[in-house]
Amino acid sequence: MSNNRHADPRQPSVVNRGEPDLHLAAVRAFVAVAEERSFSEAAARLGLSQQAVSKRVARLEADLGTVLFHRSHSGTEVTEDGASFLTNARALIALADQAVMLLRDRRRPLRIDVHRKWVASIDIVRGFHEAVDEVDLEIVTSNGLAEALPALARGSIDAFFARATGELGEDIECTPAYLEPLHLLVGRRHPFAGRSEVAMSELAGETIWMPGIARPDTEWAEFYRFLGDDFAVKYDTSGLPLFGHEHLVERVGSDDLATFNGERTRLPWRPDVVQIPLTAPTPAYPWSLLWHGRNRHPALRSLISHVTDRYLPFDPQRQWIPTQDRSRFTTPARS
- Over range 292-306, report the average pLDDT: 93
Q: What is the pLDDT of residue 246?
A: 80
Q: Is the pLDDT confidence value at 147 over 60?
A: yes
Query: 110-330 has which fold?
Result: D-Maltodextrin-Binding Protein; domain 2 (3.40.190)
**Mean pLDDT estimate for the chain:** 87
Distance CA 332, CA 176 (A): 8
User: Structure pTM?
Assistant: 0.68
Query: 24-105 has which fold?
Result: Arc Repressor Mutant, subunit A (1.10.10)
Convert the pLDDT of each residue in 245-289 to its tens digit: 788 888 888 877 899 999 999 888 888 999 999 999 999 999 999
Q: What is the pLDDT of residue 332?
A: 61
Convert the pLDDT of each residue in 214-237 to its tens digit: 888 999 999 999 999 999 999 999
The better pLDDT of the pair 103, 136 is held by: 136
Dihedral sign of CA atoms 303, 308, 310, 314 in order = positive
Convert the pLDDT of each residue in 49-77 to its tens digit: 999 999 999 999 999 999 999 987 778 99
Query: Bridge-partner residues for 138, per DSSP?
Result: 111
Could you tell me if 182 and 262 are in contact, meaning their C-beta atoms sit under 8 angstroms apart?
A: yes
Q: What is the pLDDT of residue 20?
A: 66
Q: What is the DSSP letter of 203?
A: G
Using N-to-C axis directions, what is the helix angle for 50-64 and 39-46, rounded to 10°?
Answer: 110
Distance CA 209, CA 203 (A): 13
Q: Please state the domain extents for the chain.
A: 24-105, 110-330
